[in-house]
Structure 1
Amino acid sequence: MESTADGADDTSGCRDFRRELELKQHAASRPLWVCPDGRIVLEASSPVYAQALDLLVAISEPVSRTRHMQEYQLTQYSLYAGASMGLRTQDITAGLERFSKCGLPEEVRAMVAECTERYGKVKLILRNDRYYIECPGDGAAFDALLHDAQIAEMRVLRDAAEEIPDHLRAAAAHGGGGGGAGSIVGLMGAAAFDEDEPSFSRLEHRSFEVDASKIKQVKERCNEIDWPLLEEYDFRNDADASALPVELRPETRVRDYQQAALGRMFGSHRARSGIIVLPCGAGKTLVGITAAATIGRSCLVLCNSAVSVEQWYQQFLMWTTVPKERVTKFTAGTKERLHPEACVLVSTYNMISFPGRRSKEALEVMADVEAREWGLLLMDEVHVVPANTFLTCTIKTKSRCKLGLTATLVREDDKIGDLNFLIGPKLYEANWLDLQAKGFIATVSCAEVWCPMTAEFFAEYLRQPVAVGRQLYAMNPSKFRACEYLVRFHEARGDKVIVFSDNVFALKKYAIKLKRPYIYGPTPQHERMMLLEKFKSTSEWNTLFISKVGDTSIDLPEANVIIQVASHFGARRQEAQRLGRILRPKARFAGDSTDPPPPPLSLSRDVLHYYHYIIIITSLSLHYDTQEMFYSTKRQQFLVDQGYAFKVITNLVPDGQDELLYSTQRDQLDLLREVLTDATSAEAQAEDAREAAEVEKDSGGAAVYGGGGVSRKRASMSELSGGDGLTYAETSRRSAPAGPSQRHGVFKQIDKARQQQRGGR
């Protein structure tokens, strides 16, 4: 990298750290490069790699984790997460100093100190259906919160005669300074009753109540003024909540990385709210069930779909001793009454957040859900929570602890940061390559298959609108032939194949022509379960076509080949979720009981191979001139950052394969006419309306269609894709940068210093 002067930026605005960082003695044996901007590079070949990795997982966010070099970034929330695990400022700086090849930059020391010294000083407590903010032993934090104008508007002011929390009553009784309820209220909420009161030294626990309906705003404001809320649940000493009779079965075995993740949650002998990130197939469900069994109180599990609800329901009964009558489901088709005492309820985000008219049975269940204080709110696929629809779930339900589970903590709409105050910091994230090396997840070969468009399809692609163009490259005959070739090739080997298509027309056309089953939005629940069960346990159907309803929360451990023929936009998360369908290894470890034994497969080898194909369209000259090429590059970015490499195949189908469909020009022209006709047909619009109605029905409302006719409306891309209400929006991260008030003071100082350096050149 070129530099204009010592310590200055180069012409591209990048800093030359070679001139700023001085190597220590024995630097070659140290694995970390710690840069002044909080960026950390880890050498995976170091003999102390494992120890350095443990530190980085606790205090930083992974950016890229390739096989030999890994990159991490210190952030405000990652340092909060480290502090929540009991790491002090000096622990973090000493650890970085020990592993760093250079002296620890002063900017990093200041960043660590600023972010960790305040964390844990302010706590959010749920008690008797009321939320309290407590500042144990810290008068400065208490004064700052009470005198903040926005938090003042969200405080709840009650009469002195009303119920006072027991711990405050005891503190006032032993702390002197007057007696009676009136003096307790005066001490507990002095700013509410006497804004001029400067000191609260007579109370060990300083507390005030906040409006339960404004918890999101309270958390967000506390983060903005650098007093982040810590949510911990002292479940061992909770005598108010009834206990749930649940334990893990003796034969259940929790793997070492699952134990590490749970250790981050229960490290302080309390249940700490936060997020655990594990790859698909690595056992996130068992981690959540173990957390629920450890807390031993009522648990509310929220999932993406009814299929996922059924799987969680069965997994609770499989891995724990909880009585069956205490595990209930709440979906559009199943509205079971909750057990009057502690229980486990498994439902969907849509069912809890649905704003429309409900049936009588659903209203009764929802009233019970909202009235209860749940010991644990367990959120599967937690990356969907920031969406406005699902955000309601965290407001409607009251829980003492929240645990989010996901394989891909990424979104395309800049809302992923909201999880830090809606749920909590990231507690643990596993390294995909490390789990792969240990055999816990499968080693997958990823390939991009380039299929040139036929001349007729490419001419129409250049002429037609964008929406029709997507239909054209989804149904390109070269792509169809490549898909058919791969399906027949892998079925002959005894493999189990899943073919994904976000385009419903293409999904049905491929499946019907190839005589294979398919699942998409309007597919009835019982039919979905039947098809999935046949795919898992029989050799009758070794290939299953599925829309994006199969992206998340569907357990298909037998599949070992993924073929993707049509996708929308550049969603990195969707790409990783689809790869995750085949990450569970089929060759089990001896004595590993966390997965049920696989069904017998008629294979000619002992070890299965795993393949992930992405079939995309290029022009006649193989140039990057179709939208699908652009989106494919973006979609793969997350997997590349996890260490995966993609092989490009330009000539997949060998010559002489005339038995494949659409091999003649006449068949290709017939297909072209069919595609162009379908793009604007009334039947296609009606199909979109039926699928949209199915989404609403799954959400808990009445179906739009049925009875007299079909409701028609303007179609959207999400409705065309066969999903269950999930959306993927392509946005620019640069278009909506975080405002100054949303950034931590340390990071604003770094930005200011950079601007001054550039201005002084």
Structure 2
Amino acid sequence: MYRKPLFVHSDQTIYLIESLDSNREVSEKLNQFSEQVKAPEGVFTFKITPHSIWSAAARKLSSSEIISFLKEHSQNHIQPALEEMIHRHIKEFGTLKLIRSNDYLDLEAIHPSIISKIQNETELIALEPIKVDDRTLRFTSTNRSKIKETLFNLNFFVSDESNTFGEPLEIRLNPKTKSDMYFTLRPYQDDAVNSYLEYSESTGGGVIMMPPTSGKTIVGLKIIEQLKTCTLVLVENFASGSKWLRELSDKTDLSKNSIGYFQGDPSDIKPITIAEYPQFKNIDALESIQTVDWGLIIYDNAHRLPADTFSQTVDIPSYKKLGFASTLARSDQKGQLVHAWIGPKLYEILPRTLEIQGFVKSVSCMEVRIPLQGEDLDHYNYSRAREDTPSMLKIAAMNPNKITSLKPILVPNMSENILIVSYKPALAKQISNEFDYPFIHTSTLDKELQSIIDLFNLRKKTRLVTTSISEQIPITSIDVMVALSYNHGSEREEYLRVGKLMFPEKGTSKGVLVSFVSENTVEEGAYTRRRRSMIRNGYRYKITSLSDLLEGKVTIWD
């Protein structure tokens, strides 16, 4: 019988037995110097990496503190090689820094041996550095993000001290919202704010990791209030930007003239400016936004930064940078570049911790296998014979049996709020017409669409149909989400769908995701990869057949 919760391997992998960590104290401490990579029920998997150790060093954790914690809670002996790795990366943190030297950037090392070690690396030579002395390499200022990325890939972290101070801004959070409701930060939100303010001093910025619906925007507002500096907020789309606008207007004392939404016109730039990442594909827009001395740049949905259309924003000058993300998982495996560009992880709270604390709803997931039949099956087999994958995906997604299969979910659950989502807009429109349900198909909400959403959130309408834009619009009161089609194997889409269900409400403690998947098709194969990824992260899935659902052998609440 195990008495301690951890098994620590020399390959930097750590296994945590959940039943021996009922109060979550061990997992939350682990999260300060390692990364959770799997979280199926019972046993969680963490991994110690160079950048996870840098995050620990930024938070002033010592190597002896980390090793003592592991020894105290580990069932097995800690290997000397792992201890050496932890000591080495803690010691290396802060040994390289970027400072501004007129129109150049100087990379300074605390010891000549570090410059000797890196100056002959091919990737760094390509940036054409000038050796100033035995501790300094000089680069052109346009190469800042590339310097940091190159050294990050070589397992060196660079503290960026090249930023200039931003313009001051008087801002205060109001004790009441515009609707006269008192609001305060939750304890974990306060912890996120304090961690960023304390630990970003030595790094120039950092990343805060919080699950969907946990209040990242509120954390951002509090950090702006504390820094009291002009701030640029970069968002993925108009829906996300509108949320920031609403929260700034509702919860701060700023006037409308102090808040701008940048759409390319320099007159849009205000002390607090919200802008969408894709705007800065335009060189004129990029130059305009750099006319302000920003004290803080907030990168919302920071996992998007490695995309070509977003990455140019990392070189916009600012005193501090802050990245918000629910996950840094990307199909191209480039998510960790966010740490190179923005800074180390300075705070993270895990979904399971918030669930246990009652701040988010628990979510269970059911996969229902829907058969293809008749002509649709014939067309699918014909496309498979021709190896026409796009046609196979379309036929599986548009499976008409998905529509008839909705009734055993819709009819017995008349009082529950049910959101029906489809990656394929045509299928969503078909459902809307078939059942005469409201259809939200754009994130640009006019008064009529906003009214429909408000009625759903107030539970005065219990059915709503939408597309993948559901993640961009403020739908909150969801008991059941029925997913009908998918962006192939996108793990992030699945994570965000589950995140929508986690929104906390009084009187409700559970949400259900029901996914209709065409049986024995490429859709089933792609969805299997999504399901396995979610199971690794602690979500519970049940697989059932359509016949069992129709015959009442299972229900979505089982």
What TM bracket, shorter-length normalisation?
0.7 to 0.9
Q: Equivalents in 1 of 2:250, 2:336: separation in Å? A: 35
Q: Equivalents in 1 of 2:449, 2:267: separation in Å? A: 20
Where does the alignment leave 5 or more consecutive residues of structure 1 unmatched?
A: 1-26, 158-190, 199-205, 356-362, 588-605, 619-624, 657-761
Partner of 1:243: 168
Which one of the candidate residues 427, 431, 436 is aligned to 2:346? Answer: 427
Shift, 1:387, TM fit: 0.9
Q: Equivalents in 2 of 1:496, 1:550: separation in Å? A: 15
Aligned counterparts, 1:167-566, within 5 A = 191-192=131-132, 198=134, 210-231=139-160, 240-250=165-175, 251-268=182-199, 270=201, 272=203, 273-331=205-263, 337-339=268-270, 343-354=271-282, 363=284, 366-395=286-315, 397-464=316-383, 465-490=388-413, 492-493=414-415, 495-520=416-441, 524-526=444-446, 530=450, 533-536=453-456, 541-551=461-471, 553-566=472-485
Deviations 1:510-534 (A, max 9, x none): 222222232336x755378536644
Whether the aligned pair in 2 keeps the contact of 1:37 and 1:108 (CA below 8 Å) is yes
Aligned counterparts, 1:710-725, within 5 A = none
Whether the aligned pair in 2 keeps the contact of 1:572 and 1:637 (CA below 8 Å) is no
Shift, 1:575, TM fit: 0.2
Q: Equivalents in 1 of 2:462, 2:104: separation in Å? A: 53
Partner of 1:578: 497
Shift, 1:637, TM fit: 2.6
Deviations 1:612-671 (A, max 9, x none): 1101111xxxxxx21111111111233212222112232366479xxxxxxxxxxxxxxx
Shift, 1:445, TM fit: 2.5
Deviations 1:164-211 (A, max 9, x none): xxxxxxxxxxxxxxxxxxxxxxxxxxx33xxxx55xxxxxxx766532
Q: Equivalents in 1 of 2:362, 2:147: separation in Å? A: 44
Whether the aligned pair in 2 keeps the contact of 1:233 and 1:271 (CA below 8 Å) is no
Shift, 1:231, TM fit: 3.6
Partner of 2:555: none
Whether the aligned pair in 1 keeps the contact of 2:100 and 2:161 (CA below 8 Å) is no
Query: Is 2:63 the partner of 1:66?
Result: no
Whether the aligned pair in 2 keeps the contact of 1:372 and 1:398 (CA below 8 Å) is no
Q: Equivalents in 2 of 1:244, 1:116: separation in Å? A: 36
Q: Equivalents in 2 of 1:77, 1:264: separation in Å? A: 17
Q: Equivalents in 2 of 1:276, 1:629: separation in Å? A: 34
Which one of the candidate residues 539, 543, 548 is aligned to 1:644? Answer: 539
Shift, 1:215, TM fit: 1.4
Deviations 1:224-255 (A, max 9, x none): 44431024699xxx8x5321112333344222
Whether the aligned pair in 2 keeps the contact of 1:353 and 1:393 (CA below 8 Å) is no
Whether the aligned pair in 1 keeps the contact of 2:408 and 2:550 (CA below 8 Å) is no
Deviations 1:292-350 (A, max 9, x none): 22222111111111111111111122233333321111248x985223xxx11111111
Shift, 1:560, TM fit: 2.5
Give the 3 Å change call, closer, same or farther, for CA 405–268 of structure 1 in structure 2: closer
- Secondary structure of 1:33 counterpart: strand
Q: Equivalents in 2 of 1:306, 1:452: separation in Å? A: 38
Q: Equivalents in 1 of 2:71, 2:448: separation in Å? A: 55
Give the 3 Å change call, closer, same or farther, for CA 292–69 of structure 1 in structure 2: same
Q: Could you tell me the percent identity over the aligned residues?
A: 21
Where does the alignment leave 5 or more consecutive residues of structure 2 unmatched?
A: 176-181, 553-558
Q: Structure 1 counterpart of 2:521, which letter? A: T
Whether the aligned pair in 1 keeps the contact of 2:457 and 2:476 (CA below 8 Å) is no
Give the 3 Å change call, closer, same or farther, for CA 381–34 of structure 1 in structure 2: same
Give the 3 Å change call, closer, same or farther, for CA 214–232 of structure 1 in structure 2: closer
Deviations 1:423-476 (A, max 9, x none): 222223322122111111102231112222223321221113332332322232
Give the 3 Å change call, closer, same or farther, for CA 231–307 of structure 1 in structure 2: same
Q: Equivalents in 1 of 2:56, 2:495: separation in Å? A: 27
Shift, 1:66, TM fit: 3.4
Q: Structure 1 counterpart of 2:403, which letter? A: F
Give the 3 Å change call, closer, same or farther, for CA 233–296 of structure 1 in structure 2: farther
Deviations 1:100-130 (A, max 9, x none): 2222102211221222211111223468886
- Secondary structure of 1:416 counterpart: coil
Query: Which structure's CA Rg is the greater one?
Result: 1
Give the 3 Å change call, closer, same or farther, for CA 49–134 of structure 1 in structure 2: farther
Q: Equivalents in 2 of 1:252, 1:124: separation in Å? A: 40
Give the 3 Å change call, closer, same or farther, for CA 527–85 of structure 1 in structure 2: same
Shift, 1:99, TM fit: 1.8
Give the 3 Å change call, closer, same or farther, for CA 47–559 of structure 1 in structure 2: closer
Partner of 1:35: 9
Partner of 1:105: 79
Higher strand fraction (1 or 2): 2
- Secondary structure of 1:401 counterpart: strand
Q: Equivalents in 1 of 2:354, 2:100: separation in Å? A: 37
Give the 3 Å change call, closer, same or farther, for CA 241–451 of structure 1 in structure 2: closer
Q: Equivalents in 2 of 1:647, 1:537: separation in Å? A: 28
Whether the aligned pair in 2 keeps the contact of 1:555 and 1:581 (CA below 8 Å) is no
Q: Structure 2 counterpart of 1:241, which letter? A: G
- Secondary structure of 1:228 counterpart: coil
Whether the aligned pair in 2 keeps the contact of 1:271 and 1:295 (CA below 8 Å) is no
Which one of the candidate residues 61, 73, 78 is aligned to 1:87? Answer: 61
Q: Structure 2 counterpart of 1:313, which letter? A: L
Q: State the number of aligned residues.
A: 540
Whether the aligned pair in 1 keeps the contact of 2:171 and 2:254 (CA below 8 Å) is yes
Partner of 1:612: 513
Shift, 1:287, TM fit: 1.7
Which one of the candidate residues 608, 613, 627 is aligned to 2:522? Answer: 627
